[in-house]
Chain A
Amino acid sequence: MESVRKQTGKPKEPISSTTLLLTITISTFIAMYLLAMIVWGGGFLNPQQFLDIFNNNAYLIVISCGVTLVMITAGIDISVGGTVALITMACVVFMEDYSGSVAASIILALGIGLAMGIVQGFLVAYLKIQPFIVTLAGMFFTKGMTTIVSKAPRTATNEVFLAMKNFRIELPFGTYGKTGNFIPARIEPGVIIALAIVFIVWVVLKWSRFGRNVYAVGGNSESALMLGINVKRTKFFAYVLSGIFAGIGGYVYLMHTGAGNAANAYQAEIQAIASSIIGGTLLTGGVGSVIGTLFGVMSLKTINNIVIASGLREPYWQSITTGLMLCFFILLQSVILTLRKKKRQGFTTADV
């Protein structure tokens, strides 16, 4: 087969698993949204509702990027939700009780995230402790610390912060109200941060040496080691980045809600993992992309909107449809990857 391709002078690169799964995710999302626009119309035709998916879930996009990065190295990070909750609480208490400035609170948020990332990364990469246990302890620690910082929910009243929180970026398009007045579509600054991070991580994973190392380590850490890649350092930095993204995500969450609460970002880690899976990242490592994760978050939230639009307003339907959607994507990926493996094995035997 290979030789035939060479002779015809048309080298046809076989599409990689990452690209294939990414294509499936994006096309499913577009199909789903188009269907919703045709069937239910109404809110789905309103650009603001589409942008609200981003407004409400900017933090989830940010932390999912970190989780995807760690999952590509064949690890897992379930501490991110707890870190977000801890950061919202710590920053609000810092600004309220210690009259801290906004800039200092941003540094505090990044510092907490960085510290969590460094400790977890060290334990996983250098002490070789199972990532699930380390980040589970991280989740327990951050959730417990949140209630130690303050048990009651707190609301931020810092004026500079509130100005930042209520700041909206108006887009040049929008809808017309009932009286014919133009209502521009608005996005929060967190969305810009989230999309910028997706773009940066995508570029880093695609073109930087570190990014290629991440895929190599996740694909097969032993052969990566033999190729001279510093496996430990790569894993360590993946967890550090996940911690920093949890820090940024925590502050984005705070800018969205403006309150510190121990129940903040409840089960965000599971949603982040689910988004990564829907986006085509495999828990076994070596395969995945953050663009897919972005579409994973959007698919996850669009299906919720569809469930509400179709009249199933009781909250449990959202969880059940999320489960069904996960089931669909997991089975689809499994079947496709198995078929590809068989096909490839077929080729190699034919070549021999």
Chain B
Amino acid sequence: MVNSTTLVKGLRKLSQSQLAIPLFALFLVIVFNVFRDISFFSISVKTNNFGNTVLSGNLISILNGASELAILAIGMTLVTSATKGQDISVGAAAAIAGSVFVKVLRANEITMPVILLALLTACIVAILFALFNGMLVARFDIQPMIASLIVFTAGRPIAYWINGGATPNVDSPLLSYIGSFIPGIPIPSPILIVIAFGILITLALRFTNLGLYIQSVGINERAARLNGINPVLMKLLVFMILGVCVTIAGSINVCRIGLINHETILIDIEMDAILAVAIGGNALSGGKFKLAGSVIGAYIIQALTITLYAMKVSSTAVKAYKAIVIIVIVVLGSPVVQKWVLQIRDRLFKKSMKLVEYK
């Protein structure tokens, strides 16, 4: 009896936690795959074309493929929290950042310092575009989604213009270290980058007041201002962080593919990033956030896609199935449905109590 009550208490605590929805969704995807085909989880060691011993398998490709999305989801979570809205221009901004990255790389011989210089340049450009969005949001009180509609519309054409309409390729072993594998390390580099970036952001939020300030601006801007927090500055700051995320995501994608195509690079990723934030149990109306939730959300989306590919669903039709799963997840997570479930459970529970009393 005691055990069961502590279990119930633990479950209740978990169900009230923000991470309940993403963990439950991840659990569903895993259970589905266990019953469908257990070999989905197998990981093998292979030797790739460059002679590196590397890990391969569905799990690795999920973790690897979701890298850009996970990084963007981190930035999007912070923007959502502070501004109560979402930036839909991340895909277009990533195209711009990637184009600048490639332009600097092609102007020089590719060495490590040049790559860093290219990253820095791309970062500055991306931050400038993010600051443009940020100014509209923070200074002019425009809804983030509307403000970022401008860069969303004009972003990819600007990327087109940066490289003169071409889709130039860049080829260097140094870039493949970023995009695929570093010799001697069997884990794909994008995964390592996500881990490093995640740790950095978590430390920054934990050991400074940044996280607290961002959340307080999102929860009640007026109260935050009365407490000496500058809401305009915090909003600009989250957009700048998003700019950095956009640069990293864009650069990883360029390194992975080896060329920049302004039309197709990270297309529709803004929708997936917002979805990751929502599946991660974060309210799209701002306020409290959990970065871990959003990152798990990103992996859920990728796991779903890879599962559907493994089931031989064509790449264009994947969206339809994804939509159904998303709706199921958000319906289960909806407060109204949860209330209904609780009511039904209470009714059943009371009935069983009565039965016990009768006996």
Residues of A within 8 A of B (CB): 76, 123, 126-130, 132-134, 136-141, 143-145, 147-148, 151, 262, 270, 273-274, 277, 283-284, 314-317, 319-320, 322-324, 326-327, 330-331, 334-335, 338
Task: Say whether B210 faces chain A, with CB atoms less than 8 Å apart.
Answer: no
Judging by beta carbons under 8 Å apart, are B141 and A338 in contact?
A: yes
What is the bound-complex CA distance between A136 and B325, given in angstroms?
A: 12
Given contacts A148-B317, A270-B152, A330-B150, contact A128 B140 (CB under 8 A): no
Residues of B within 8 Å of A323, CB to CB, are 150-151, 153-154
Residues of B within 8 Å of A317, CB to CB, are 157
Task: Say whether B224 faces chain A, with CB atoms less than 8 Å apart.
Answer: no
Residues of A within 8 Å of B317, CB to CB, are 144, 147-148
Given contacts A148-B320, A334-B141, contact A277 B275 (CB under 8 A): no
Task: Say whether B160 faces chain A, with CB atoms less than 8 Å apart.
Answer: yes
What is the chain A residue whose CB lies nearest that of B154?
Answer: A323
What is the bound-complex CA distance between A324 and B151, given in angstroms?
A: 9
Given contacts A140-B319, A140-B320, contact A127 B337 (CB under 8 A): yes
Contact of A283 among B143, B157, B327, B337 (CB under 8 A): B143
Judging by beta carbons under 8 Å apart, are A330 and B147 in contact?
A: yes
Contact of B323 among A140, A319, A324 (CB under 8 A): A140
Residues of B within 8 Å of A136, CB to CB, are 271, 274-275, 326
Contact of B334 among A129, A273, A284 (CB under 8 A): A129
Residues of B within 8 A of A (CB): 86, 136, 140-143, 145-147, 149-154, 156-158, 160-161, 165, 271, 274-275, 278, 284-285, 314, 316-324, 326-327, 330-331, 334-337
Judging by beta carbons under 8 Å apart, are A134 and B330 in contact?
A: yes
What is the bound-complex CA distance between A53 and B323, given in angstroms?
A: 34
What is the bound-complex CA distance between A53 and B80, given in angstroms?
A: 37
What is the bound-complex CA distance between A140 and B320, given in angstroms?
A: 6
Judging by beta carbons under 8 Å apart, are A130 and B284 in contact?
A: yes
Judging by beta carbons under 8 Å apart, are B150 and A141 in contact?
A: no
- Closest-CB distance, B188 to chain A (whole angstroms): 27
Given contacts A128-B334, A319-B156, A320-B158, contact A327 B150 (CB under 8 A): yes
Judging by beta carbons under 8 Å apart, are A335 and B140 in contact?
A: yes
- Closest-CB distance, A255 to chain B (whole angstroms): 25
What is the chain A residue whose CB lies nearest that of B322?
Answer: A140
What is the bound-complex CA distance between A147 and B320, given in angstroms?
A: 9
Judging by beta carbons under 8 Å apart, are B146 and A330 in contact?
A: yes
What is the bound-complex CA distance between A133 and B337, given in angstroms?
A: 16
What is the bound-complex CA distance between A76 and B330, given in angstroms?
A: 17
7 tightest A-B CB contacts, nearest first? A144-B320, A323-B154, A316-B157, A144-B319, A141-B323, A140-B323, A147-B316
Judging by beta carbons under 8 Å apart, are B334 and A133 in contact?
A: no
Residues of A within 8 Å of B318, CB to CB, are 144
Judging by beta carbons under 8 Å apart, are B335 and A128 in contact?
A: yes
What is the bound-complex CA distance between A127 and B333, given in angstroms?
A: 10
Judging by beta carbons under 8 Å apart, are B334 and A127 in contact?
A: yes
What is the bound-complex CA distance between A330 and B141, given in angstroms?
A: 10
What is the bound-complex CA distance between A103 and B275, given in angstroms?
A: 38
Given contacts A126-B336, A144-B322, A262-B316, contact A270 B153 (CB under 8 A): yes
Given contacts A148-B320, A277-B149, A338-B141, contact A320 B330 (CB under 8 A): no
What is the chain B residue whose CB lies nearest that of A318?
Answer: B157
29 A-B pairs within 8 Å (CB atoms) are namely A123-B327, A128-B334, A129-B330, A129-B334, A132-B86, A132-B145, A132-B274, A133-B274, A134-B327, A134-B330, A144-B317, A144-B322, A144-B323, A147-B317, A148-B317, A148-B320, A283-B146, A284-B143, A316-B156, A316-B157, A316-B158, A323-B153, A323-B154, A330-B140, A331-B136, A331-B140, A331-B142, A334-B141, A338-B140
Judging by beta carbons under 8 Å apart, are A320 and B275 in contact?
A: no
- Closest-CB distance, B113 to chain A (whole angstroms): 33
- Closest-CB distance, B331 to chain A (whole angstroms): 6
Given contacts A316-B160, A334-B142, contact A141 B278 (CB under 8 A): no
What is the chain A residue whose CB lies nearest that of B285?
Answer: A130
Q: A132-B86, A137-B326, A274-B149 are in contact. List 9 more A-B contacts (CB 8 A).
A: A127-B331, A130-B278, A136-B274, A137-B330, A141-B320, A270-B153, A283-B145, A323-B150, A330-B147
What is the bound-complex CA distance between A133 and B333, given in angstroms?
A: 12
Judging by beta carbons under 8 Å apart, are B323 and A137 in contact?
A: yes
- Closest-CB distance, A52 to chain B (whole angstroms): 22
- Closest-CB distance, A270 to chain B (whole angstroms): 7
Judging by beta carbons under 8 Å apart, are A140 and B326 in contact?
A: yes
What is the chain B residue whose CB lies nearest that of A284?
Answer: B143
What is the chain B residue whose CB lies nearest that of A282?
Answer: B143
Residues of B within 8 Å of A262, CB to CB, are 316
Residues of B within 8 Å of A283, CB to CB, are 143, 145-146
What is the chain B residue whose CB lies nearest that of A128?
Answer: B336
What is the chain B residue whose CB lies nearest that of A338?
Answer: B141
Judging by beta carbons under 8 Å apart, are A324 and B154 in contact?
A: yes
What is the bound-complex CA distance between A137 and B326, given in angstroms?
A: 7
What is the bound-complex CA distance between A274 and B88, given in angstroms?
A: 13
Residues of A within 8 Å of B316, CB to CB, are 144, 147, 151, 262
Residues of B within 8 Å of A139, CB to CB, are 271, 323
Judging by beta carbons under 8 Å apart, are A144 and B150 in contact?
A: no
What is the chain B residue whose CB lies nearest that of A133?
Answer: B278
What is the bound-complex CA distance between A128 and B318, given in angstroms?
A: 26
What is the bound-complex CA distance between A88 and B314, given in angstroms?
A: 21
What is the bound-complex CA distance between A148 and B331, given in angstroms?
A: 25
Given contacts A147-B314, A319-B156, A320-B154, contact A133 B275 (CB under 8 A): yes
Residues of B within 8 Å of A127, CB to CB, are 331, 334, 336-337
Residues of A within 8 Å of B140, CB to CB, are 330-331, 334-335, 338
What is the bound-complex CA distance between A82 and B34, given in angstroms?
A: 33
What is the bound-complex CA distance between A283 and B86, given in angstroms?
A: 13
Residues of A within 8 Å of B271, CB to CB, are 136, 139-140
- Closest-CB distance, A77 to chain B (whole angstroms): 13
- Closest-CB distance, B116 to chain A (whole angstroms): 30
What is the bound-complex CA distance between A166 and B166, given in angstroms?
A: 39
What is the bound-complex CA distance between A139 and B322, given in angstroms?
A: 11
- Closest-CB distance, B148 to chain A (whole angstroms): 11
Residues of B within 8 Å of A128, CB to CB, are 334-336
